[in-house]
Amino acid sequence: MAQPLGRLKESASQTAGPYVHIGLTPNFAEIEGVYEADLGISMVNDKTRGERITVTGQIFDGSGTALKDAMVEIWQADAEGLYNSPAEMRGSADPNFTGWGRSPTNMQDGEFRFETIKPGRVPFRDGRLMAPHITFWIVARGINLGLSTRMYFADEEAANAEDPVLARIEHRVRVPTLLAPRDGNGYRFDIHLQGDKETVFFDI
């Protein structure tokens, strides 16, 4: 026998269920007057530094059907590669950029949408620079534990080629599932939960 470590166990996850929009984007869910605005709807203002981009996409299930009841959150660095977070010790991020966004997938075609800026590069654990990327977290009915992935920018070929996280992916044929192609003024990041095009998800 030894002394107990006295650690607690993380609360078990449960699905967000079909009505996650009531809780997290109530104005979108037509429950108006409780909150002034849905959190995470706006990431930028007119003083935000960096290249404005729109990130859109859909989330497809194993039958190819887009999820209309999902909720997507993103977290990213500012244009200089700094996070707007107390744990960011390298400097002060752009105060006019939250870095965090939340979007429901809509009831028409299941599209999510973020008006944001292109992030700068952030160092990996060993100091090498990661390629610009946006962290995604996806919850929905039928998803028992939120899914984590990253969107990279397909047109950042040189940076992507030296990215230490992309380098972790053994099956190179899967890397393109994380590369969002340019689409007008923004980038398109479609997510596939299953099948040949299954998106790489991370255990972070």
| Sites for another protein among residues 155-194 (CB under 8 A) | 165, 168-169, 174, 193-194
Residues 84-123 that bind another protein (CB under 8 A): 84-89, 98-100, 107, 122-123
Q: b or e along 171-192 (b: 16 or more beta carbons within 10 Å of the residue's beta carbon)?
A: eeeeeebbbbeeeeebbbbbbb
For 173, phi then psi, to 5°, come to -65, -15
Task: Answer yes or no whether residue 17 interacts with Fe ion by CB under 5 A.
Answer: yes
23 vs 176, which CB is nearer to another protein?
Answer: 23
Tell me if residue 134 falls in helix, strand or coil: strand
Task: Indicate which single residue of 18, 95, 176, 181 sits in contact with another protein (rule: CB under 8 A).
Answer: 18
Task: Indicate which single residue of 26, 79, 80, 154 sits in contact with another protein (rule: CB under 8 A).
Answer: 26
Short-list 112, 183, 193, CA closest to 153: 183
Task: Indicate which single residue of 4, 46, 125, 173 sits in contact with another protein (rule: CB under 8 A).
Answer: 125
Tokens of 84: 């707007």
Q: Which stretches of the chain bind Fe ion, using CB under 5 A? A: 17
